[in-house]
Amino acid sequence: MKLLTPLFCGLAALALCGTAAAQSAAGAGPRTYATLGYTVGGDVLVTGTYSNTGESFTLRAGQGFLAMLGAQYPLADKWSAQAAVGYHYDRTNGDGWNFKFTRFPVEMMVHYALNDDWRVGLGGRYALEPKFKSLGTYASQGNNRLSASAGAVLELQYMLYPLRTSVAGRGAAGGISLKWAQESYTLKNVRSLERDGQHIAISLFGYF
């Protein structure tokens, strides 16, 4: 059941590919997609206070740096399908200890170009190998492997370097992205320990 959302989005993208193949621009092919950004949101995984400064810290299930690499496939005019895999990472360090939360998200999306400057996208996301680690003084907190739920993804893109009249257009393009993702994490074999990983990401992206 956890894979139904990204599977559905992937099948939808494949269906669009089939129906739009005849309309795709001649000679247009896939382009490399890359993005780097930061996410905020999600439930608290761990919180505390730095002993040397007295300042508080919080590690959240939807927070951290996000880098992704994938491919964009042109469909009909103004439509494209996109698949990407990434590394989502956050950590906090103290005097002789640190906490770290990592995962490898996979996203499949379909985008529509409103015009040369704006695009909207819808798809699914599933995080592979989510892990929460504690080292040093707080190593007793354990290194926990989590299970993730599949979730939906919504995206709004603003092109700083426009797509030249069509998503199928050639040449580099890039801009700023605002993305909302829905997901949750559960400690394996302990269903009551569920944490909401819903987050908003602000990123720079490019197509090459």
| Tokens of residue 21, six digits | 């193949």
Question: Distances in Å between the alpha carbon of 175 and those of 25, 41, 190?
Answer: 23, 23, 41
pLDDT one-digit tens code per residue, 37-84: 999 999 988 877 766 666 777 889 999 999 999 999 988 888 999 999
pTM above 0.85, yes or no: no
| Tokens of residue 64, six digits | 């951290």
Tell me the three state secondary structure of residue 10.
helix
Mean pLDDT on 143-162: 88
DSSP element (H, E) containing 68: strand 64-74
163 pLDDT higher than 60: no
pLDDT one-digit tens code per residue, 118-130: 999 999 999 999 9
Tell which residue, 35, 2, 39, has the closest CA to residue 147.
2
Residue 165 pLDDT grade (very low, low, confident, very high; cuts 50, 70, 90): very low
Residue 116 pLDDT = 84
**56: β partners:** 49
Residue 13 pLDDT grade (very low, low, confident, very high; cuts 50, 70, 90): very low
- Domains, in order of start, for the chain: 4-207 (2.40.160)
Helices of type H across 3-81: 4-20
DSSP element (H, E) containing 179: strand 173-181
